[in-house]
A and B are shown apart, each in its own frame.
Chain A
Amino acid sequence: MEFAFTEEQRMIADTVRDFFAENATSERTRAAMAARGPDAGIDRALWSAFATELGLAGLALPEEYGGAGLGMVEFALVAESAGAQIAAIPLLGLVMVGRAIAAGGSDLQKSAWLPRLVGGEVVAAAAAGQGLQAVDGRMTGTLSHVAHGGAAELLLVYAGDDAWLIDLNGEGVSATTHVTMDQTRPLATIMLDGARAEPLADAAAAIAGALAAGLICLSAEALGGAQSTLDRTVAYSRERVQFGRPIGSFQAYKHRLADMMIEIEQARSAVYWAACAVDEGSDDAALALHAAKAFCADTYRMCAGNMIQLHGGIGFTWEHDAHLFFKRARSIATMLGDSEWHREQVASKIMGPSTVGGVA
């Protein structure tokens, strides 16, 4: 019975917590939010320090390509800390694309891209494709809502049972970054017009690797973010005095904070259960990933909403950071499937498929 962090894992957690707390400050995040063009929503200095000084971009990528060869548990610790500070870095694209190539890329694809991802030289993004035309290694079509798609130079596209890599610096590619509600991870539309698309050698493995990593990333970010909303609201409730008492001494207030903690502790179990299940290749891995995404996303939304409410008027201002959490929580809720969709996948696994709308 060892469902506890190892010494090494605790050290990683301490390191990344300090790194993001010190560097991913509100000021720097807001500068990235205000930027336009390829730097929109990216703190380049932070990303570079993360990849090179700490060497963490390759944490969950294979050692033979410069990575640390660790797993989803260690990566989740990183994503949790990044999420706690709403760091403006392209972590989601990195881990989805990196793990996809590691799991399903050819040797050539691995050696072409993994060292550059590990070094933080290339920003990557992943997109689910619909209605794409892929003929003779050329792809045409539009990809919507691609996180950090405007900054990305490498794109993973997956559709059905197929997956491709696209060098976005190549011909036939144009991208538009949208003003996005969560400015720390702006969404882009990428238009492909005969762009070179290289099929991944083992598409099924690549897609599974990308989705597992993406769901862990979002769930862990949500956990870290939710914990931050609780910590910050607790701190505020001890300082703010009304009716001659700190507002944190009122039961109506305390009970809402307690409810946040109850959900957050379950979210923590969810993230590390799912991360372990993926690392161990457990039969429960798919169920755990669906459970973690649905539970953590819901927890984060509830907590971020409470953070605003429990701060009163100041929580509604642009100046206060509460809205950064609230908006990140909103964007996570929809990315890679909403909670209702993930719960339906859980239901299908334990009850069998629903026959409504299908053949009874």
Chain B
Amino acid sequence: MKLGFSAADELFRAECAAWLQEQLSGPFSDIKGIPNLVSKIERRREWEQQLARHKWSCIGWPAQWGGRDATLARQVIFAEEYARAGAPGRINHIGVELAGPTILAFGTEEQKARYLPGIANGTAIWCQGYSEPGAGSDLANVKTKARLDGDEWVVDGQKVWTSLAHFSDFVFVVARSVEGSKGPKGLTFLLMDMHQPGVEVRPIRQMNGEAEFNETFFTDARCPADAVLGAPGDGWRVAMALLAFERGVSTLAQQMGFRNELDAIIAAAHAGGKACDAVIRQRVAQAEIGLRLMRYGALRMLSNTGQSDIDGAALTYKIQWATWRRNLGELAMDVLGQAGEIAEDDRYEWPMLPNLFLFSRADTIYGGTNQIQRNLIAERGLGLPREPRGDL
């Protein structure tokens, strides 16, 4: 058992850091440190393509499809250095981290050749069509319909909370293809082009004033008959496998962002005179400890990949970080006091810490609420009886 990385991996770290530094102090300095995923989209598309040109866009993928076959350790290192360098949030993280790995796992050679190059070279941005107005925590209650019409699927229905749909090029959609089917049976996983008349995107303004999420309406929207991942009717298995990719190396990069937020709170505590407050000090220490344990928890999971005794532990990660961050948002406002409740100018827009306070209320909801997480931990991690389903 060791804490660090090998010497060769540390050399790789230096290589990542140097390239990122060169880019972000040079041609892409204008998007360094940009906080959200919605501004300067054109420049960020260029950034995705620049990453691709230098083979940094999807290093964990096979070399055949534009990756580097990088080990988990090196994926972690790149993700850490990416965040440390203040590089902008990846607008194609859904393509690179979710769609790509799922296509690699379930796609035919023909499908790989059709979809992967666009993700790898940064020209095809993807979004995720899972949740619906009636299918939130109960994701299997999908109502969006897909029917085969000649050599095309025709899709009708509504998705919601589709992050980044307003500038995405493709969407993967879970739709009900077997008439009268219920729950996880009869679903099909479709890969669809967003640029067509049957797809309409309406942004949803969030409580922090920004709009990263959308409603996406499908009205007679179409995709080719062979744009199905897995078999028709087997979409639930594909959809669930995709969610497993969500708990990957990106968690360690995410923690670099958390580090910046906690450091900003400590700086604010010094500036505002709260740094000597015994209760605030306890809470800051608690946050620091939680952050460190998140890091070693993630390293433990990644180092034990493939060992079955880590599966239960891995289930605890989502609720852990989400709750930690929500508490951090509360701490931020307690440190800032009323100054934190005043915007910087006449727009309803928030700097990092007040925005953290507002946005972190979403963290404990999306990707499975804290309540759903506890069900999963209890049922899958501890083997307790499943929650009975209602019939309504």
Give A residues with C-beta under 8 Å from B: 1-6, 9, 73, 230, 234, 237-238, 245-246, 248-249, 251, 254-255, 257-259, 261-262, 265-266, 268-270, 272-273, 275-277, 280, 282, 287-288, 291, 294-295, 340, 343-344, 346-347, 350-352, 354-356
**Given A3-B1, A351-B270; A248-B72 close (CB under 8 Å):** no
Most B CB contacts (10 A, CB to CB) among A249, A277, A340 go to A249
**Given A343-B282, A350-B288; A4-B384 close (CB under 8 Å):** no
Chain B residues contacting A257 (CB-CB under 8 Å) are 378, 382, 384
Counting chain B residues whose Cβ lies within 8 A of the other chain, the interface size class is 35 or more
| Contact assessment for A4 and B278 in the assembled complex, using a CB-CB cutoff below 8 Å | no
B387 is an interface residue with CB less than 8 A from chain A: yes
B275 is an interface residue with CB less than 8 A from chain A: yes
Interchain nearest-CB distance for B175 vs A (Å): 30
Contact of B281 among A249, A282, A344 (CB under 8 A): A344
Q: Which of B33-41, B311-319, B342-350 contacts A (4 or more CB under 8 A)?
A: B311-319
**Given A3-B296, A234-B384, A346-B289; A340-B282 close (CB under 8 Å):** yes
Give bound CA distance, A347 to B287, whole Å.
10
Give bound CA distance, A272 to B373, whole Å.
25
Give bound CA distance, A288 to B293, whole Å.
9
Give bound CA distance, A88 to B2, whole Å.
31
Chain B interface main SS type: helix
| Contact assessment for A1 and B266 in the assembled complex, using a CB-CB cutoff below 8 Å | no
Contact of B1 among A2, A288, A291, A354 (CB under 8 A): A2
B385 is an interface residue with CB less than 8 A from chain A: yes
| Contact assessment for B297 and A277 in the assembled complex, using a CB-CB cutoff below 8 Å | no
| Contact assessment for B3 and A282 in the assembled complex, using a CB-CB cutoff below 8 Å | yes
**Given A265-B313, A273-B3; A254-B374 close (CB under 8 Å):** yes
In the complex, what residue of chain B is closest to A4 when comparing beta carbons? Answer: B303
Give bound CA distance, A344 to B377, whole Å.
32
Give bound CA distance, A3 to B298, whole Å.
10
| Contact assessment for B285 and A4 in the assembled complex, using a CB-CB cutoff below 8 Å | no
In the complex, what residue of chain A is closest to B72 when comparing beta carbons? Answer: A1
In the complex, what residue of chain B is closest to A287 when comparing beta carbons? Answer: B292
Most A CB contacts (10 A, CB to CB) among B9, B289, B375, B385 go to B289
Give bound CA distance, A272 to B313, whole Å.
15
Give bound CA distance, A262 to B324, whole Å.
12
Chain B residues contacting A2 (CB-CB under 8 Å) are 1-2, 303
| Contact assessment for B377 and A354 in the assembled complex, using a CB-CB cutoff below 8 Å | no
- In the complex, besides A1-B5, A4-B307, 15 extra interface pairs with C-beta distance below 8 angstroms are A1-B72, A3-B300, A248-B378, A249-B384, A249-B387, A254-B384, A255-B374, A258-B373, A269-B300, A270-B293, A276-B2, A276-B3, A280-B4, A287-B292, A351-B266
Chain A residues contacting B2 (CB-CB under 8 Å) are 2-3, 276, 280
| Contact assessment for B1 and A351 in the assembled complex, using a CB-CB cutoff below 8 Å | no
Chain B residues contacting A352 (CB-CB under 8 Å) are 275
Interchain nearest-CB distance for A2 vs B (Å): 4
Task: Jot down 5 A-B pairs with beta carbons below 8 A, ordered by A.
Answer: A262-B316, A265-B297, A291-B289, A344-B278, A346-B289
Chain B residues contacting A291 (CB-CB under 8 Å) are 288-289, 292-293
Give bound CA distance, A259 to B370, whole Å.
10
| Contact assessment for A354 and B73 in the assembled complex, using a CB-CB cutoff below 8 Å | no
Chain B residues contacting A261 (CB-CB under 8 Å) are 312, 316, 377, 381-382
**Given A270-B293, A273-B292; A354-B281 close (CB under 8 Å):** yes
| Contact assessment for A6 and B374 in the assembled complex, using a CB-CB cutoff below 8 Å | no
Chain A residues contacting B17 (CB-CB under 8 Å) are none
Give bound CA distance, A12 to B200, whole Å.
60
Chain A residues contacting B94 (CB-CB under 8 Å) are none
Interface residue ranges of B357-392 to A (CB < 8 Å)? 371, 373-375, 377-379, 381-387
B7 is an interface residue with CB less than 8 A from chain A: no
In the complex, what residue of chain A is closest to B314 when comparing beta carbons? Answer: A265
In the complex, what residue of chain B is closest to A266 when comparing beta carbons? Answer: B293
Most A CB contacts (10 A, CB to CB) among B2, B312, B383 go to B2
